Amino acid sequence: MQFISTRGGMEPVGFADVLLTGLAPDGGLAVPDTVPALSSVDLEALRPLPYADLAARVIGLWATDIPEADLLSLTRAAYGQDRFPRTVVPVTGLDQVADGLILVGLSEGPTMAFKDLAMQFLGQAIPYVLRRQGRVLNILGATSGDTGSAAEHAFKGQNGVSVFMLSPAGRMSEVQRAQMYSLADANIHNIAVEGVFDDCQNLVKAVNADQDFKRRYAIGAVNSINFGRIAAQIVYYVWSWLRVTDELPVAERATYRVDVTVPSGNFGNIYAGHLAREMGLPLRRLILATNENNVLDEFFRTGVYAPRPSSATLATSSPSMDISKASNLERFLWALLGPGAFAQAWQRLEEDGRTDLSEHVSTMRERYGFISASSSHADRLTAIRLVHAMTGRLIDPHTADGVTVALQLMQPGFPTLVMETAKAAKFGETVAEALGSAPAPDAELRALLEAEQHVETIANDLAALRALIEKDAVLPAES
């Protein structure tokens, strides 16, 4: 398995190298040159495996340059009971809410968010590759909430790795801030940017665009542009389909199709679902759910992709989705259009701030299964109340966006999986608004909220960010 760049300017590289590079040297994103197949026979062989072993098998289809035994050790460490003390990914029916509605629990990790499932794998795999190659890495990332804490908890204390995590000042929940800023490890550097998530993301891209600086300071990425995260996210699509079909007669399993609804901001999670579908997993429709920052919904409904400026990105009660420029969409557009047409469309996007692909809407729906809808603050509150009243379960506002859209678009006869985003406790203010009171934080959460916080605030300024990296980066041995 080899990976190339969406922009065509990178020599093919293997999975291990993709783990460390983040953006390709030409500014594009790494994509696989082929998509491996999951046949019905393969799926049945995977069915009895525990999550960690399943992860090794699925990720191994992409990570062909990592020995099988090593990969299994990495996934068993990533998904062990010290990090996931309960079922790694519980799959729970919500038939009380709607017949066929199913919640895929993705928040059982150390930071109570779906990002842990990918990041804990990277936290094992990246140090493994660094040791094997005798290298160091300075991870530079942008977070709208959960990626940052998941990355920092995966890499804290690791030798040869430093994390520089940008977050939009004042735009995360209290728990999200505490999970990041309370870490005192010397290799963790929290940077609050006076702006929105897109500003943080643009700073990361600007640093990566300077190839000399990137090489000198060994800059890498673990946000959703890192294909290692995408590969790890594919696993829980396979796992959840297997769990939904466990009780079916064997002869019916291979053709049993389900829909999945994915709360979407940066398009990484649902892109993993897209790849799972391309691999042959029987996913019928990929239902994309956005909040009021609905650029992606507009794109999949109309074919017009027009990212909004930072000033037009709304601060909502599902803040991890307050994104108006979805980095991972580039990967899907490359597959949809092909390299030549993609280059033209991307040039139009960069020159005009928009690109019109309306002629491809039917292809996106019929060939690739994408449909979409958006959710509002009132919708979120209604969904939180509904799920709690019918099941006693608390859901976070991002998952509530997913439930809202699933209830709008699900069809009889097709189970609809909602991919959970986080624990409700991370967004107690919105839950309290919906229910009249928030669940009391347990002792562990209270201690987290009371802990001293460590963060440096900077203007939306590239020079200021570069100065922090220059001061605190772990340097390659030859430096």
Could you count the other beta carbons within 10 Å of the beta carbon of residue 110?
A: 17
DSSP 105-153: ----STTSBTHHHHHHHHHHHHHHHHHHHT--EEEEEE-SSHHHHHHHH
| 393, 434 Cβ separation under 8 angstroms | no
Task: Show me where the domains of the chain are located.
Answer: 91-109+233-435
State the pLDDT at residue 479. Answer: 43
The whole-angstrom separation of Cα 427 and Cα 171 is 12
**Model confidence over 136-155: pLDDT tens digits?**
999 999 887 778 889 999 99
Q: Are strands 283-290 and 370-374 parallel, antiparallel or unpaired?
A: parallel
Could you count the other beta carbons within 10 Å of the beta carbon of residue 448?
A: 15
DSSP 23-41: S-TTS--EEESS-----HH
* Mean pLDDT score across all residues of the chain: 94
Question: Has residue 442 got a pLDDT over 90?
Answer: no
Question: Has residue 298 got a pLDDT over 50?
Answer: yes
| Range of lowest pLDDT (199-208, 239-248, 440-449) | 440-449
Q: Quick one: 386 exposed, middle or buried, by C-beta within 10 A (0-12, 13-18, 19+)?
A: buried
**Model confidence over 162-177: pLDDT tens digits?**
999 999 998 888 888 9
Residue for token pair 């996913």: 283
The whole-angstrom separation of Cα 44 and Cα 61 is 16
pLDDT band at residue 426 using 50, 70 and 90 as cut-offs: confident
pLDDT band at residue 223 using 50, 70 and 90 as cut-offs: confident
| 180, 452 Cβ separation under 8 angstroms | no
- 285: enclosing H helix or E strand: strand 283-290
**Model confidence over 309-349: pLDDT tens digits?**
888 999 899 988 988 889 899 999 999 999 999 999 999 99
Longest dimension (CA), the chain: 62
The whole-angstrom separation of Cα 438 and Cα 428 is 5
State the pLDDT at residue 440. Answer: 77
State the pLDDT at residue 477. Answer: 66
| Range of lowest pLDDT (286-290, 306-310, 356-360) | 306-310
Spatial neighbors of 79 by CB under 8 A, at least 6 apart, are: 51, 52, 55, 88, 120, 121
Share of the chain above pLDDT 90, in %: 82
Which DSSP state fits 245? T
**Model confidence over 86-96: pLDDT tens digits?**
999 999 999 99
Question: Has residue 18 got a pLDDT over 60?
Answer: yes
Question: Has residue 478 got a pLDDT over 60?
Answer: no
The whole-angstrom separation of Cα 49 and Cα 47 is 6
State the pLDDT at residue 448. Answer: 86
**Model confidence over 177-196: pLDDT tens digits?**
999 999 999 999 999 999 98
Residue for token pair 């990137």: 214
Q: Which fold has domain 91-109+233-435?
A: Rossmann fold (3.40.50)
